[in-house]
Amino acid sequence: MPRSSSQEAVKLIFFGILGELTGCRDAMVPISGPTPLVEVLAGYLTPMQATELSVRAWVNGEPKSIEFDSLVRPGDEIALLPPSSGG
């Protein structure tokens, strides 16, 4: 799986069951420009897994879901969330 600590990267954070599925809490994925989220996730989650698990993606702490074909940019922080289960 790609790893990077440079500014030209997207940070992925996996919550709940996604952390167990991917084997990591977070990851830095190098990209050189706007890139579809589905490409950034390659190696971590397949589109089928994301669909089956109803995964939502929040960008930079904003409670707005984005689609998996949406473009993400270097420096973005993407939180990958399974369905809520509450307190």
Positions in the binding site for another protein (CB under 8 A): 13, 15-17, 19-20, 49, 52-53, 58, 61-63, 79, 81-87
The Cα–Cα gap between 45 and 7 comes to: 23
Least distance from another protein to the Cβ atom of residue 72, Å: 17
- Residue 4 vs 49, nearer CB to another protein: 49
The Cα–Cα gap between 35 and 69 comes to: 9
The Cα–Cα gap between 48 and 43 comes to: 13
Least distance from another protein to the Cβ atom of residue 30, Å: 23
Is the separation of the CB atoms in 8 and 31 below 8 Å? yes
Least distance from another protein to the Cβ atom of residue 15, Å: 5
Sign of the CA dihedral running 37, 42, 47, 53? negative
- Residue 2 vs 60, nearer CB to another protein: 60
- Residue 30 vs 82, nearer CB to another protein: 82
